[in-house]
Every structure is written in C-alpha cells, then in structure tokens.
Amino acid sequence: MDDIAQQYVKLILDIGQHDPDFVDAYYGPKEWQENSKKMKYELTALKDRTDAISNRLKRIRVPRRDQSSTLRKTYLQKQLSAAYAKIEMLSGTKYSFDVEAKKLYDAEPPKNSEKYFSTIVKELEKSLPSGEGTIQERYLKYRNQFIIPKEKLDAVFTRAINECRARTKQFIALPENESFVVEYVTNKAWSGYNWYQGNAHSIIQVNTDLPIFIDRAVDLAAHEGYPGHHVYNVLLETELMRKKGWIEFSIYPLFSPQSLIAEGSANFGIDVVL
C-alpha cells in the first residue's frame, strides 16, 4: 500500500496546481512538490490517474484482523473518491450542496425544520436582557460589550493559548519540539486559520478586521491550537507519517473527508479544555 500512498500524495499535489486552496498543508519530500510545480497535468489525465490508483487500491486484500491496514485502505479510498469529485468540479461539474458535501466530505448535512430554528430563537430571546429593538439588535448590543480591544488582543490570546495548552497536556502527550506562532492579519475571509508547517510547528493567523469577542479568543486558542488543528496535525505527523511511515499523511487536501474529522475534532477540542 506504500506505493499507492506515494501515488496518492503526488496526485493531490498535481490537483493543487489547478486550485491553490486545495493543498492545505504538505511536509513530504520537497522534490515531489517541486516536480509538481514544473508539470501542470490536464484534468482529464488527473481523472484517469485517480481511477487507476483507486483500482489498484481495490485489488489489495487486507486481512480482517489487520485493523490498522483496513483503516488505512478505507481512508485512502475515501480521499481518492473526494479527489475524483474535486477534479470533476474543476472540470465544470456542478453539484447541489448536499451532493457536494457527500462527494467531497463523505458527510450528509442535517436537515432541520423552520420550527427547530424558531424554537432556538425564542430560547435566545428569553436569555437576553430586556430592552427595545429586534432580537438581532438586542443580541448585538449585549454581545458588543465583550469585544476585545485590538491593543489587548495579543495578551488575551497568549493567556488563552497557554491555558489551553496546559489543559491539553493533561490528556495528550505532545512532542517536546511542538510549537506555533500567532500572526495578526487583515483582509481575510475567515476569523482564524491554522497553517501547519510540519515538524510539529504551526502558524496560526488571527484576522483583526473582524471583532473578536472574549469567548472567541478561547474558541480560537482551542480550535486552531490546543487541542484542535495544531495538535491534530502534530499527532498525524508524529504517529502516522513518521512512526508508521504512512506518507499519505504528509499532505492535507482541504476539500476531502479529512477536513470533516479535522473540523469536528477541533470543535470538540473546545469542550475538552473548557
């Protein structure tokens, strides 16, 4: 399966030449990345390669008792299926929201009635201080009391990160060399983002164009850092890529089932440290 995993990594790098957002992180062999940049394969060729790799993978027989290899094979199958769908989308295919969620993330979005959301809004209204205005206006008035002044952002984030790290270490053993730096940026579409660099190091960027509330500081510290994306990627690199030699975990295609796990675990991480 190792040879197939190598082909998978190179395929993801090559798809990334058609969409700069596709490869979220890569810390595999540098020459593979350099070779990919030199060659921009046609989408039809990439689709054929995806089919060929998938067919090779299907023919591999894994003993049922070998749970580790079974999970590895399933992971590669799901990731390759998502890669194929991404190539189709790059080729012009349009999907509905639900179909796209299934094809890219192997997920089925929940369906809730209007009554479900109305009930939540009513509960929120009961919790807000009384006053004039719509529920949206009352909510914003209450919420805006807790915006962190920009000059205090770094101090608040540093405190939140240190506490989240201390609480995370109660449950998870981290490599001694793990680390990340925080950068404050503007002109971004998101409030916070983790750019995993490999070697247990991340760059976490915080968008200061958006108002950041005090609870959001803790959310970002946990979600992007400890025990969220940073720890998740550190463990993938340390336990699967380096210890097991599973090279497929040296790359993270953003539009894939891996993102569902990454985001879900990062959100759950907030509950772990609170």
Percent of the chain with pLDDT over 90: 95
What pLDDT score was predicted for residue 141? Answer: 93
39 or 105, which is more confident: 105
- Domains present along the chain, CATH in parentheses: 2-105 (no CATH), 112-146 (no CATH), 147-273 (3.30.2010)
**What's the whole-number mean pLDDT along residues 175-195?**
94
- Counting every residue written for the chain, the total comes to 274
Span 92-139, pLDDT tens digits: 999 999 999 999 999 999 999 999 999 999 999 999 998 889 999 999
Burial bucket for residue 13 (CB in 10 Å: 0-12, 13-18, 19+)? buried
Which residues on neighbouring strands pair with residue 253, listed in sequence order?
A: 23
What pLDDT score was predicted for residue 171? Answer: 93
**What's the whole-number mean pLDDT along residues 86-97?**
97
What pLDDT score was predicted for residue 21? Answer: 95
Residue with tokens 């992971």: 75
E strands present in the chain: 23-26, 179-185, 192-198, 201-207, 251-253
DSSP of 161-202: HHHHHHHHTTT----TT-EEEEEEE-S-SSSEEEEEEETTEE
Span 243-263, pLDDT tens digits: 999 999 999 999 999 999 999
Please report which confidence band the pLDDT of residue 274 belongs to, taking 50, 70 and 90 as the band edges.
confident
What pLDDT score was predicted for residue 153? Answer: 93
What pLDDT score was predicted for residue 186? Answer: 95
**What's the whole-number mean pLDDT along residues 151-164?**
94
Please report which confidence band the pLDDT of residue 64 belongs to, taking 50, 70 and 90 as the band edges.
confident
Span 202-240, pLDDT tens digits: 999 999 999 999 998 999 999 999 999 999 999 999 999
Side-chain-facing half-sphere of 50: CA atoms under 13 Å: 23
Q: Which two tokens stand for residue 124?
A: 């929120």
What pLDDT score was predicted for residue 11? Answer: 98
What pLDDT score was predicted for residue 162? Answer: 94
